[in-house]
Amino acid sequence: MQHSLSQGQGYPQLGRYYYLDCVGNIGLLFIPFGDYQWGVAIDTNKAEQGLLLNVVLPTIISAFEKVVIP
């Protein structure tokens, strides 16, 4: 998905993550790591978006980079 959207269409490349706000109080968070992509569905009624993006997300990215990127 990320390559077809960003290549040759004049769109900027994706950053460290992307977040989709879906109907039904569901948020989808995706973190691309080269050939890998990690995704999680979040109940937005139970998780605060600020806490997720400012505390949880950086921790997840750091942990995943340690495992995937030598």
Looking at the domain assignment, is residue 10 inside a domain?
no
Looking at the domain assignment, is residue 7 inside a domain?
no
Looking at the domain assignment, is residue 23 inside a domain?
yes
Q: Tell me: the pLDDT tens digits for 15-65? A: 888 999 999 999 999 988 878 888 999 999 998 888 888 998 899 888 887
Phi, psi of 66 (to 5 degrees): -65, -30
Looking at the domain assignment, is residue 30 inside a domain?
yes
How far apart CA 23 and CA 26 sit, in angstroms, is 6
How far apart CA 20 and CA 67 sit, in angstroms, is 25
Its pTM stands at: 0.71
Looking at the domain assignment, is residue 2 inside a domain?
no
Domain coverage including residue 53: 16-68
* pLDDT interval class at 70 (50, 70, 90): low
User: Domain tally for the chain?
Assistant: 1
Looking at the domain assignment, is residue 48 inside a domain?
yes
How far apart CA 32 and CA 14 sit, in angstroms, is 8
Looking at the domain assignment, is residue 4 inside a domain?
no
